Amino acid sequence: MLLKIPAVLSKQQVADAKNALLAAQWSDGNITAGYQSAKTKNNLQLPSDSQVAHELGEVILTALSQNNLFMSAALPSKIFPPLFNCYQGGQSFGTHVDNAIRQVPGTPVKVRTDLSMTLFFSEPDEYEGGELVMEDTFGSQRIKLEAGDMVLYPSTSLHRVTPVTKGRRLASFFWLQSMVSSDEKRSILFDMDMAIQALRSKLDDSPEIVQLTGVYHNLLRQWAQT
């Protein structure tokens, strides 16, 4: 399942974040690349111990914890702390797949990467190129969202970032381990949750809606791993 989540951050939050990012000290993006992706990765990245990265990461995680669409789609168990990258001057990231397991720096915590996320800080008209291109069962998708919007997609997807030929593309990227590891099962639960919420917005609670809600939770109970 690929899902665009609008307005994760407000325009003011985006503006504040961009100011902080532009003033930060950047490093070579290969600091977090695996063996294969290091061959095709050409960008800048904030070090994981950056104070700016830590502060902005907390802002993002707080916003996501209050975003019902994200919580319904992702069913998060563990989230890897947000990282931040910058593409400019022709930089790009060739086709790759994300590492299956990520260890949170400085801790023994390991996160299975079920879902990947990219949160945009630059408006689409502020740079040329820089599309996030994904290939999966849902076909080929080219993603370039408004600042503050986020895309959520399976970490099993082959994906790449096209060269940024003009301007600067600022974004946050990170991963999560879902309570439901199967993308197919998460999609079923998400569709059911959205349908139940739509029914509730049109109708008072009825025995049928209560029954459907029970089915949702019984499926989640069977499939979830906490």
Same domain? 126 vs 32: yes
Structure tokens at 158: 């082959």
The phi, psi pair for 88, rounded to 5°, reads -160, 165
Mean pLDDT of the chain: 94
CA 115, CA 2: separation in Å to the nearest integer?
A: 10
Element (H, E) at 20: helix 11-22
> What integer is the mean pLDDT of 83-108?
95
Same domain? 130 vs 198: no
Compare 141 and 72 and report the one with higher pLDDT. 72
Distance of CA 151 to the CA centre of its chain: 5
Domain that holds residue 34: 3-178
Same domain? 36 vs 106: yes
Q: What is the CATH number of the domain that holds 188?
A: 4.10.860.20
Long-range CB contacts for residues 31-39, cutoff 8 Å, separation at least 24: 32/83, 34/99, 36/96, 37/93, 37/96, 39/94
Pairing of strands 115-120, 158-161: unpaired
Q: Which segments of 80-163 are extended strands (E)?
A: 83-88, 92-96, 101-103, 110-112, 115-120, 127-129, 132-136, 139-143, 150-154, 158-161
Same domain? 111 vs 219: no
Same domain? 152 vs 204: no
Same domain? 202 vs 155: no
For the chain, how many structural domains are there in total? 2
How does pLDDT run across 110-152, given as a tens digit for each residue? 999 999 999 999 999 999 999 999 987 767 899 999 999 999 9
Q: What is the CATH number of the domain that holds 80?
A: 2.60.120.620
Structure tokens at 96: 């790759």
